[in-house]
Chain A
């Protein structure tokens, strides 16, 4: 080995400094257009289950089936402020099922029976149809299939139920499988300060 040590040192140092400058340039470029705090969010106006005008009447269910977790991190959330509290809730009942003896549809829409229906306010026991009902979604049972969201969306309902990412469950995959399969690209990673407002809440 007849390497001149000082010359090799100089070359290595030069390469090191240029590599450092390169990394700095990459960093500076990215910092210029960076954003602060972001996370996976569902754009309700794009989600086929909730946005008005979707032609097909079948819930998409991709959120329930493609999440890497056993039970999806996406759950249906009822924004109570925007809920019509209907006697016959099109998200709670399968309104196409046969009418039972009580005059209500005989089947529920939720395949996992995750919605609870309770009469609220000043209850009129003589005329049950004249009461308001609260619809609570049991988060532990919900798998985010979106059938209720589909039922509640306008014009059948007021659109108070949305699919939302539950951040205590979401493992924040860099490559989110739901985002990969979402048919309308409603599932996106955006800064929290640019979150889309929940439409129903604003209307109510």
Chain B
């Protein structure tokens, strides 16, 4: 119960960050792909730099989580094709929708009905990937 509350509160914070930093705005994504502003690069870049330090520290110290289990960060499988092709398809969608999955959820609260169709599309895309998974090069 307490864990659920913590996760919910982390989500609330994240939702507020997405809106107040404008990463959930279509316009910011467009501006990013035009390389016209440092804003998005600063956000992702600083998150990654601090993230590298955090991840390194947790691994180096064999840190345990709050339940006493060792923190394990599951590495992604090796590969190339799935990452470059999947990434490119994702990028096409990211630039057109102006939102990646996290910001999509937060935009449900924006009052634009279109966001429901957007998320329906994302669910459909996920579903179709599941159908085609074995036929795609990975």
B is a partner of A: no
Enumerate chain B interface residues (CB-CB to A < 8 A). Answer: none
Enumerate chain A interface residues (CB-CB to B < 8 A). Answer: none
